[in-house]
Amino acid sequence: MNFDEIIGHYKIKDQIVKSIKLKDFSHAHIIVGEDGIGKSIIARETAALILGKSSDTQCVDIVECRINGNKKSIGIDEIKGIIEEVNKKPYEGDKKVIIIYNADKITEVAQNALLKTIEEPPNGIYLILLCEKLDSILDTIQSRCETYKLNRLKDEDIVIFLNRNFPNLPEEERKSVIAFSDGIPGRAERFVEDSSLHEIRDVTAQVLLELQAEGIEFISKYSLFLFKHKDEWQEILTCILSYIRDALIYKETGNKNFLINSDKFNDIKNMCEIFSFNKLNGIINIIKRTRMKLEDNVSPSLVFDSMLVNMQEV
């Protein structure tokens, strides 16, 4: 693969290619974006371009640093190892690229230890930090790096991704994958290959269809399922929003062809009968608040219970 083959992120790719060709490429960079958006692909292609190599071949002067095992953070010991690697001379030429994954997991102490290296690396050494949340990176590090924010892809780019990787995907499933991906190619790939995500899609439809049921049974029935899949909370919320979007459109137009979840047409029709426009919009606001709480690391169990209760009461 080369830069031309990477789907989306066109302005960022052009900026990187031009700066490398003009020999104006900074020594330290941050690539930020959601999991599955394409950070690692762009980082590896950038590294290959800097070294004048093909990304399809192994290169000892492209060093990828990841969190070890089940650790949830990158501490001072790991950073010391990275600093040692930075100070080793390149093997094959006069350049070396260090790619640091999950840079937003580096502890504050460890980031401060890395600061001088980012500020003044040896000649020919380039550092690329990958992260999902830029606000977890110290301002002192951000100010010394060129930052690239990867945004979600447009639907037409996701279609290109699916045509390339899953050319035999049925049309109805393709629409569902596009909706589920929410502009993230890695999420689209997971949906095609992971049966548990199909279960999430089916159950979230049932949550909406049974929302008018009263009593603790409804809450307990679905809160357990949602908590079981707490690590896929973004997928859960995306599914709910896609159904609400379809219900709003079908209530407005009565046209099945506009639906994303066309294979769930009967469910969408039932939702239209159950919910008014006001209630559908109210559920959208609840999902937005739920997303904010989960992004702030509020307990998933409490958040999901609150979401279900609020959706019943809206």
Write the burial class of residue 126 (CB in 10 Å: 0-12 exposed, 13-18 middle, 19+ buried): buried
pLDDT > 90? residue 160: yes
> Tell me, what's the pLDDT at 313?
86
User: Per DSSP, what are the bridge partners of residue 130?
Assistant: 31
**CA pair distance 22, 16, nearest whole angstrom:** 10
Which secondary-structure segment (H or E) carries 31? strand 28-32
CATH code matching the domain that covers 194-313, chosen among 1.10.730, 3.40.50, 1.10.3470, 1.20.272: 1.20.272
* Per-residue confidence (pLDDT) for residue 123, from 0 to 100: 93
Q: What is the DSSP letter of 259?
A: -
The mean pLDDT of 174-195, rounded to a whole number, is: 87
> Residue ranges of the domains in the chain?
3-149, 194-313
Helix/strand/coil for 257: helix
What CATH number does the domain located at 3-149 have? 3.40.50.300
Residue 283: Cβ-neighbour burial (10 angstroms; 0-12, 13-18, 19+): buried
40 pLDDT more than 90: yes
Cβ neighbours for 111, distance < 8 A, ≥ 6 positions apart: 79, 137, 138, 141
Start-end of H helices in the chain: 10-21, 39-51, 76-86, 108-119, 139-142, 155-165, 171-181, 185-193, 195-209, 216-228, 233-253, 265-274, 277-295, 300-313
Domains 3-149 and 194-313 share a fold: no
Cβ atoms of 75 and 223 within 8 Å: the answer is: no
Distance of CA 91 to the CA centre of its chain: 34
Lowest mean pLDDT, pick from 38-52, 55-69, 161-175, 284-298: 55-69
User: pLDDT digit string (tens) for 41-73?
Assistant: 999 999 999 998 876 678 899 999 988 767 788
Nearest CA-CA partner of 44 in 57, 33, 35, 34: 57
Q: In what order do the strands lie in the sheet with 28-32?
A: 62-65, 96-100, 125-131, 28-32, 146-149
Average pLDDT, the chain: 90
The pTM of this model reads: 0.80
